[in-house]
Amino acid sequence: MARRLLLYDSAISGNAYKVRLCAAQLGLSLERVQLDLLKGEALAPEFKARNPFGRVPFLLDDDFALAESNAILCHLARGTPLFPAEPRRQSLVLQWMFFEQNQVEMGLAVARYYMKFRPDHPKAGAIVEQSRPRGIAALKTIEAHLDGGRRFLVGDYTVADIALFAYAHLAEEAGVPLADFPRVRDWIGAVQATPGFVAMEAP
């Protein structure tokens, strides 16, 4: 029987977009269920019963359930050049992906979410003020890394580039001008030029 990949998805989520981009570049077909995060559908009891993390993306690979965008990228790309098997290179790919969840996502994604989708939230200003500097510092780290003449983060294009591209290319929506990060802009262009690239849909 054909492998069935079912993605619980959201148009506003950069984390969910990572999975669509990776699947497209691997030639994998995804069935998609759209959740409206702004209406709290990821926390609704019928979804939480399937996915105790209560967030998207969430993948069903036949009967195998997996949460966390970057774990899903590794899962889909394992055995392909996008997730290198060579130990040191794989460790560096993971290094950038953990950095992404701790610093980029908790910086740029959080600031973007409150600026773009929750501007009337009573704490929006304070949350943006705390998260945006983390995102700017993360972009500086990426900029310095790319300054050595690298085209991608770890040798050839990998899931690390997909993971960090998702919110880096949305930095302006978090109030961070990419004009200050020329190497990051070049790298964003390089990701957009990879075979099979698909853009994030406008929510």
**148's tokens:** 């050595």
Residue 80 lies near a copy of itself (rule: CB under 8 A): no
Residue closer to a copy of itself by CB (options 98, 197) is: 98
Give the gyration radius of the chain's Cα atoms: 17
Binding characters for a copy of itself, 154-193, by CB under 8 A (x = yes): ----------------------------------------
* Residue from 87, 122, 149, 177 binding a copy of itself (CB under 8 A): 87
Residue closer to a copy of itself by CB (options 33, 106) is: 106
> How do beta strands 31-34 and 64-67 pair?
unpaired
**92's tokens:** 């560096």
Residue 150 lies near a copy of itself (rule: CB under 8 A): no
Q: How far apart are CA 21 and CA 33, in angstroms?
A: 16
Q: How far apart are CA 138 and CA 151, in angstroms?
A: 18
Neighbouring-strand partners of residue 58: 8, 67
Q: Which stretch binds a copy of itself (CB under 8 A): 19-27, 94-102, 164-172, 174-182?
A: 94-102
**In contact, 97 and 70? CB cutoff 8 Å:** yes
Residues near a copy of itself (CB under 8 A): 52-54, 64, 66-72, 74-75, 78, 87-88, 90-92, 94-95, 97-99, 101-102, 105-106, 123, 126-127, 130, 141, 144-145
